[in-house]
Amino acid sequence: MSCGEHRASGSSAPAGSSKLGTGCAHSPLWRTTGRASATLAAQRGAPSSATVDSGCEQRPAPYAGVVRIDIVTIFPEFFGVLDISLLGKARERGILEVNVRDLRDFTHDKHRTVDDTPYGGGAGMVMRPEPWGEALDAMVSPTSTVIFPSAAGMPFTQSLAREFAEHDHLIFGCGRYEGIDQRVVEYAASVTSVYEVSLGDYVLNGGEVAAMAMIEAVGRLVDGVMGNPLSAVEESHSNGLLEYPSYTKPAEWRGREVPAVLLSGNHAAIAEWRITQQLARTRRVRPDLLPPESNANSVS
């Protein structure tokens, strides 16, 4: 297995993805404005050794240390919940740092305008490129990965979450209205690697909820770097099927019993039962996850 298979390399897009190419990186790098807004977790001083450099010795090499996340949005308050949901342990340990930046801080007009009417006509408004350009210039470097949530993006999956967890700087560009002027995406792709990512085939009102979901999915993988190797455990236990059902005490509740096999102490039987449950459930609700031949008789 080559390193390229599980380490994100700056310029090669994963097969079939809509990641855009990396261009020359001559434009403004590490230029920081003093205009950061709400800082959710400004943890510094995590040991740089935490940034694993040799990801190729062992099997699942991802989750390589500190991940910085910048979020650009016109609704910075939106991300306050990250304090509750995700950042606790990871933030304490200094392995995850999240900064929320208000796009309006990168405007210069009195009304801090971020939108304008669409060229070509049509309903709604489009986000103007200028504030986005300034925001990106203030935080992007060639080692950054810029993620634009978009209903037109590539699907977000666990494997994409795993990939993002390997990167050390993620920038989420959260659009609103009818989206962001496409030249912003092109510009970002001329500086570093860019992904347009969809949370699913439904239309949200903006990128924030999608970014939040992705940050949570990525964050729990980064979390796994420390102490208990959550990532490795999860990897070895995920077989690509839907989960088996879980039960806890009491053994009988409102007339419903926990499946007897789970109380049997027979670990082989339990493992077999769980796989059977996974297969049945997957065939019922997500036959698309099964290999094509197993769907041959799935008419009913």
Q: Which residues bind ligand JDK (CB under 6 A)?
A: 149-151, 175-179, 198-200, 202-207, 210
d(CA 112, CA 103): 9
Closer residue to ligand JDK (CB): 123 or 299: 123
Closer residue to ligand JDK (CB): 204 or 230: 204
Closer residue to ligand JDK (CB): 86 or 214: 214
Min dist. Cβ of residue 156 to ligand JDK (A)? 8
Residue sitting closest to ligand JDK (CB): 175
Closer residue to ligand JDK (CB): 204 or 226: 204
Closer residue to ligand JDK (CB): 16 or 250: 16
Min dist. Cβ of residue 119 to ligand JDK (A)? 15
Distance from chain centroid for Cα 51: 19
Closer residue to ligand JDK (CB): 55 or 118: 118
Closer residue to ligand JDK (CB): 15 or 203: 203
Residue in 234, 55, 68, 71 with CA at minimum distance from that of residue 158: 234
Please answer whether residues 168 and 65 qualify as being in contact, where contact means their C-beta atoms are separated by less than 8 angstroms: yes
Min dist. Cβ of residue 245 to ligand JDK (A)? 28
Min dist. Cβ of residue 187 to ligand JDK (A)? 17
Which string of DSSP letters, residue by residue, matches 118-155?
PTT--SS-EE-HHHHHHHHHHH--TT-EEEEEEEEEEE
Min dist. Cβ of residue 185 to ligand JDK (A)? 12
Which amino acid appears at position 76 of this protein? P
Min dist. Cβ of residue 143 to ligand JDK (A)? 25
On the question of a cis peptide bond just before residue 250, with omega within 30 degrees of 0, the verdict is: yes
For 94, how many CA atoms within 13 A lie in the half-sphere containing its CB? 9
CB atoms within 10 A of CB 277: 16
Please answer whether residues 145 and 8 qualify as being in contact, where contact means their C-beta atoms are separated by less than 8 angstroms: yes
Min dist. Cβ of residue 233 to ligand JDK (A)? 29
Q: Are β-strands 169-173 and 193-198 bridged in parallel, bridged antiparallel, or unpaired?
A: unpaired
Residue with tokens 């016109």: 74
Please answer whether residues 176 and 127 qualify as being in contact, where contact means their C-beta atoms are separated by less than 8 angstroms: yes
d(CA 178, CA 115): 10
Supply the Cα-derived Rg of the chain in whole angstroms.
22
Residues in the chain: 300
Closer residue to ligand JDK (CB): 177 or 273: 177
Min dist. Cβ of residue 150 to ligand JDK (A)? 5
CB atoms within 10 A of CB 133: 18
